[in-house]
Structure 1
Amino acid sequence: MNKKLPERNIEIDAANLADYRLLQTFAAPTAPDNHAVRHVATIVRRFLLDQTLEKSASPRGIKLAYTAPDTNALRNATLAKKLALFFSAGVQCYGFSIAALVMQSNPYPGYRAAQIDHDPSRTVILKRDSFLNQVVAGFNGSTISRKDIVLYVANKAAGVHFDLDRTSDKFFLVDRIRHSGRISFRDGNPNIEFDLHRLINPDPQFAIVSGAIDFVFLEFLAAIQWILASPTIQGLFEQIASELAPGHTA
């Protein structure tokens, strides 16, 4: 016996489609501002944490899956403390493609950096929970998941769903990293900036600096772009757009 699919909710479908289209316009921003970040962060939280996409996918029998970079080598190298810092990225911004940010440990002069088998073009297909829990960044032996990044940006920037554990070790780690490193763009060229002092004394406010993207916000943009690049997500919204188009008949 085939399991009966839940009823479709046109209002939810229309809201999801509007949010999806807004994400498309924001995916590779040239001049993001705090208001836009707050709005988009709320959408990403709804899609991934509140599972609003499933409310549109389930009635259509669509099983959602997400394309993501294969970060296993970077995760393992971080846990082994072979890397000082990494962000998986795989993102387009300011006209550049950033495959990954990697800083290797250098304990003494003449140290030969470890070879890490990371291929930025290698991807995996993940279910929602695995996509959220995938390790996408690391610092000094500690790992950071995509969920950590989404929660941080949604909480810190939006200020709506501020969790009570915002002072937790993981939140504080993401906060410190965010304020210590960024990519700036000068004369059409990217420039990586990293200030160890700011790891100890991070700024208290979330603000977007014109002409620059901090490491954490870069990873947040990557999450958006990986969502939009996932074939099942694209197929879902192609179907919704067709069904909601004027003159469509079931």
Structure 2
Amino acid sequence: MPVLVITGTGTEVGKTVTTAAVAATAVAAGRSVAVLKAAQTGVGPGERGDAAEVARLAGAVRAAELARYPEPLAPGTAARRAGLPPVRPHEVAEAAAKLAAEHDLVLVEGAGGLLVRFDAAGGTLADAAGLLDAPVLVVAPAGLGTLNATELTARELRSRGVELLGVVIGSWPRAADLAARCNLADLPEVAGAPLLGALPAGAGALPSAGFRAAAPAWLAPALGGTWDAEAFGTREAPPGPGVPGDLT
């Protein structure tokens, strides 16, 4: 798996922190890693973008961006408003392929969800994944509303013949409510792919050394970690029918 594309079911779901955890786990296993941010929006010149944040958390990772736009909008819209060239799927694929020739693993992080548009022609991260023939990891939130967005993302990938490697919960709450607990069983069912990890809420705020040490325990063996979906599900199992859950 020289290239892995990482997308979210939407914005603010823990995609960058999950990318950092995958990178840190691979680095700990002795692999050389590059992370490619296809299009960075909402960040000005000299400010740290998502790729640099992955490198800060994960350690010895090569960070690369294809384009940067100042307004926090979809890449195609941000490029148009800034009067800058858009990123196109073939450019993402070409850049990832070049990095893959020099690294054991390349992580391509999208912007927002799978079908967020890069350009006026409607190019998306899904198109780039198809050009790369690379598997996709979907990062989803834990709670209510995640099943619909996850299933739609999974269906889109299948309709394109793109492999869905699995789903990672980008932020598992300290006090999970009933919906989140039930979603541990429901997410892999609606995705038709395994649950491959759950990152604790606030993981991105850990000191970098602590993040790197802990990351493998958040991810399943398919991602190089030690996380056990069955054990986690048993520990976080929802109460039986008719038994009030913790809805805090």
TM-score range, shorter chain: under 0.3
TM-score norm. by structure 1 comes to 0.24
Task: Choose 1 or 2 for highest CA Rg.
Answer: 1
TM-score by length of 2: 0.24
